[in-house]
Amino acid sequence: MYYAELLLVGLVWGCTYALMALGLTLVYGLLRILHVAQATVFTLGAYVGLLVANHSGSLALAFAAAALAAGVFGPLIYRLIYQPILDKPPTADLWAGQTDEGELGFTYERVDQLLYLLVDQRYRRDEAIAAGFEPPFVDRVLATIRRNQFKRMPPLIAKLSNRTVGYDFLYLRDWET
């Protein structure tokens, strides 16, 4: 009996996850927006169903109320929140004549050349300056690289063994070469 109950609970949870995944896939596939508030709609429907079931004692009425609540609240979220966002023309909220390069004070082409030397070719500061880049520009880019280095690191993961992904097997001796 225990295993039958365990199987039933697993099936219920599996079907719940499948329905939520199907709903997210359907919404994203049709609208091309990730409707992250869908979990809220499901939860609201569940609470409404629970309240109706507790007050009326009718499971059929609870299912109908849950579906109705989710069916009303979901489109309401879309109309009040998503539709105004989708109708707004794409913009970076820049004023007329403003560009990223103008605000940065250098062109992407120039900083790409410097980044190639500093990161890919491992030039030091003095070598980059000798290559024709101005010292304040090199200093600013180096400071930005140092300040944002954490973005180039993989997220920390639980260490379940003596070796850690991303930290071990970094040397040739680890690969027996």
47 & 110 share domain: no
pLDDT at 129: 96
Given this model, what pLDDT does residue 173 score?
A: 62
- Averaged pLDDT, groups of 10, the chain, 177 residues long: 82 84 75 70 88 91 92 86 78 73 86 92 94 95 88 67 61 59
For 71, the domain range is 2-87
Spatial separation of the C-alpha atoms in residues 34 and 44, rounded to whole Å: 19
Same domain, 83 and 111: no
Same domain, 69 and 116: no
123 three-class SS: coil
Residue in the block written with tokens 């040739």 = 172
For residue 33, what pLDDT is reported? 66
Of 21, 25, 45, 43, residue with least CA distance to 34: 25
Give the count of domains, the chain: 2
Q: Is there a domain that residue 156 lies in?
A: no
Taking residue 44's Cβ as centre, other Cβ atoms within 10 Å add up to 18
